């Protein structure tokens, strides 16, 4: 069974360019999370969706960041315009909360390493 799939794995871009990161969650999962990992700040939750609806985007650093989930099998995180301080590894994770049961487990993708020059 395929896990969470992220693309691209690596992205190098110049300041001011638009960056789009993509995520395909595990089929059937109803939660999707975007995290950012840096040396200075560790793992930060940016936004999460439940059944494709954004629930909490309080972790999104600023208006340059946006995320969408047009359907249950696809999500994007967009940065426009990008800045050097956005350089980080961005992780997508999904999880399942079925009625009366919760595994509590987040399944992470392998991450997208973004470098903004």
CA dihedral for 44, 66, 81, 26, sign (positive or negative) = positive
Select from 13-21, 48-56, 61-69, 70-78 the region that touches another protein (CB under 8 A).
48-56
**Candidate residues 69, 93, 114, 116; the one interacting with another protein per rule CB under 8 A:** 93
Select from 13-21, 68-76, 79-87, 88-96 the region that touches another protein (CB under 8 A).
88-96
- The partner residues of 37 in beta bridges, in order of sequence, read 43, 89
From residue 56, alpha-carbon distances to 7, 51, 69 in Å are 23, 13, 13
The residue among 81 and 96 lying less far from another protein, judged by its C-beta, is 96
């Amino acid at each position: 069974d395929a896990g969470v799939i992220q693309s691209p794995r690596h992205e190098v871009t110049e300041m001011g360019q638009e960056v789009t990161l993509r995520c395909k969650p595990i089929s059937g999962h109803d939660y999707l999370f975007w995290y950012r990992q840096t040396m200075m700040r560790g793992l930060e939750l940016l936004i999460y969706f439940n059944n494709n609806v954004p629930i909490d985007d309080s972790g999104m650093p600023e208006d340059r960041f946006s995320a969408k989930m047009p359907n249950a099998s696809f999500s994007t995180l967009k940065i426009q315009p990008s800045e050097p301080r956005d350089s980080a590894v961005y992780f997508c994770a999904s999880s399942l909360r079925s009625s009366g049961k919760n595994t509590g487990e987040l399944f992470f993708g392998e991450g997208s390493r973004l470098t903004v020059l």
